[in-house]
A and B are shown apart, each in its own frame.
Chain A
Amino acid sequence: MNLVTELANPPPAKLHINGVSKTFTTQRGSVHALDKATLTVSEGEFVCLVGPSGCGKSTLLNLIAGLDTFDSGTVQMDGQPVTGPGRERMMMFQEHALFPWLDVMGNVLFSLNLKPGLNKQEHVEVAKYYLQLVGLERFMHANIHELSGGMKQRVALARALAPNPRVLLMDEPFAALDAMTREQLYVDLQKICKAREKTVIFVTHNVREAVCLGNRVVLFSPNPGRIREEFIVNLPRPRDINDPALAGMAGEITKALKGHTAKPAEE
């Protein structure tokens, strides 16, 4: 069956980012957004990038997505250089970026319609599967403006998952949501990641969120954007954001983060 193969989990990808630098040049001068970033992400890993705003986290994510070019270094997925956007790397943005002229189903179908191989009927079935996965199958025909912020991000997640990418890139997807909604999403995202083995890179400035979701937490510091330190998170899953052990680890990481932000990087 076509549909069965479509919904099967593809092997998660391995990412290798080596000495990547990026400078933005604007009228007001140039910004050294990313300085020789090196990061290796193994298959199926959930990596959280943490740092104050302006330290190049989104820049790095955009480079991996293939949305922007970089000045030097290499970005490789499974040994192949990343040269542009691709369906095996899907991105979720802080602003939901859903298309208001389409309903919920239409938005999820948008990414599927661009994927060769399945017919219309199968597209609809795949879309329904992912809407069910994020718990929104009942809102299939709703308009985007009728959804709450959390529901919008769920649709955006379904849309990103729909072409069955191997890497999921998430740029502060929950930053604009209230705490209650976020907590439910932590639970659900962990479930979904368990069901749909992906390699995930998740950007946040919320350390607790990072410890709750990630296998690994990578710290950034600004001016220029640099990767400074890594923490492995070995807490058992599923994790609860209010777990004291998790809070303890988050405290430790926050302290380290403050240290990096306070003193400028030595040249």
Chain B
Amino acid sequence: MKRLLLASLFFIGLILIWHFIVVAEIWSPVLLPGPASVGSYLWAAATDGSLAEASWVTMKRLMIGYLIGCVIGLPLGMLTARSKTLNDTLGVLALGLQTLPSVCWVPLALLWFGQSESAMLFVVIMGTLWSVLIAVDNGVRNLPPIYTRAARTMGSNGFHTLRHVILPASMPYVISGMKQGWAFAWRSLMAAEIYVTLLTGYGLGHLLHFGRELNAMDQVIGIMLIIVLIGLLADKVLFSPWERFLHRRWGLNG
């Protein structure tokens, strides 16, 4: 309760400071609109449905691409951890591509897929895939061999060991890899949406782009706030429960 109160005070304070800077007219209100005008933009966008629609379009792209990236990256990471040949080939490729800022995929995606949903998905998948793959590879590689040995004495083998020992044992790595993958995917999707206008659906990035085109600073700041909120929410909803679980089970140093 006290924490909530402090946090609320902090953010209310921020908004107040913002408000006073605007009132003091240090910058032109066109360049820095106040919280009230950003609020009224958001309210209008929320009531006419454009905000919800853009958020939905963005989230759909992100979710689908992210899921595909995870579903491909997970088994591939296990394979590269287990096979020397795959590690020397696919593993090295993944390491290289992971260092590539995922925005760099945008031009290639456009040339390959045109201005389509597939291009967006491709960018998100590339953002997710490599970090998930490398994290799973790391997790499986650093697995203490004693776990699988112990499991074998108890009659576990093959798929059972994979499902009940290797996967949960590498969870700390997998979760942090999935979190990183999420962050990369989210950033690259925003970049793609800002640079590419798709007729199949306007996402949050497009609203940001149009805001700039129209010199509508209240829209730009409003959408930025929404993007931050979604990022925060994803962290709290998608990853916090897992991290709490890891913390509880593995302990502080785990």
B28-36, B79-87, B152-160: which one contacts chain A? B152-160
Judge if A91 is at the interface, Cβ distance under 8 Å: yes
Smallest CB gap from A68: residue in B: B149
* Contact of B251 (CB < 8 Å), options: A93, A143, A159: A143
With the chains together, A95 CA to B146 CA distance in Å?
8
Judge if B171 is at the interface, Cβ distance under 8 Å: yes
A100 to B146, Cβ gap below 8 A?
A: no
With the chains together, A99 CA to B171 CA distance in Å?
12
* Residues on A with beta carbons closer than 8 Å to the beta carbon of B169: 99-101
* Residues on A with beta carbons closer than 8 Å to the beta carbon of B171: 101
Judge if A110 is at the interface, Cβ distance under 8 Å: yes
Central interface residue in A66, A101, A102, A146, by most chain B CB within 10 Å: A101
B147 to A85, Cβ gap below 8 A?
A: no
Give chain B's interface residue range (CB within 8 Å of chain A): 20 to 34
B153 to A65, Cβ gap below 8 A?
A: yes
A67 to B152, Cβ gap below 8 A?
A: yes
With the chains together, A60 CA to B2 CA distance in Å?
60
B146 to A97, Cβ gap below 8 A?
A: yes
Judge if B183 is at the interface, Cβ distance under 8 Å: no
Smallest CB gap from B246: residue in A: A101
Q: A86-B155, A114-B160 are in contact. Are A101 and B150 (CB under 8 A)?
A: no
Judge if A87 is at the interface, Cβ distance under 8 Å: yes
Measured CB to CB, the closest approach of chain A to B155, in angstroms, equals 4
B154 to A97, Cβ gap below 8 A?
A: no
List B residues 158-206 near A (Cβ within 8 Å).
160, 164-165, 168-169, 171
B153 to A89, Cβ gap below 8 A?
A: yes
Q: A114-B160, A143-B248, A145-B250 are in contact. Are A97 and B155 (CB under 8 A)?
A: no
* Residues on B with beta carbons closer than 8 Å to the beta carbon of A93: 146, 149-150
With the chains together, A67 CA to B150 CA distance in Å?
9
B249 to A85, Cβ gap below 8 A?
A: no
List B residues 238-254 near A (Cβ within 8 Å).
248-252, 254
A67 to B149, Cβ gap below 8 A?
A: yes
Smallest CB gap from A98: residue in B: B150
With the chains together, A166 CA to B150 CA distance in Å?
17
A91 to B153, Cβ gap below 8 A?
A: yes
* Residues on B with beta carbons closer than 8 Å to the beta carbon of A85: 152-155
* Residues on B with beta carbons closer than 8 Å to the beta carbon of A146: 251
With the chains together, A95 CA to B147 CA distance in Å?
10
Judge if A90 is at the interface, Cβ distance under 8 Å: yes
The list of the 3 closest CB pairs from A to B, nearest first, reads: A145-B251, A111-B154, A101-B168
Residue positions of A touching B, CB distance < 8 A: 65-67, 85-87, 89-91, 93, 95, 97, 99-103, 110-111, 114-115, 143-146, 159, 163
Residue positions of B touching A, CB distance < 8 A: 144, 146-147, 149-156, 160, 164-165, 168-169, 171, 248-252, 254
Would you mind naming 22 contact pairs between A and B with Cβ atoms under 8 Å apart? Answer: A67-B153, A85-B152, A87-B154, A87-B155, A89-B153, A91-B150, A91-B153, A93-B149, A93-B150, A97-B149, A97-B150, A100-B249, A101-B168, A101-B171, A101-B249, A110-B154, A143-B248, A143-B251, A144-B249, A145-B250, A146-B251, A163-B155
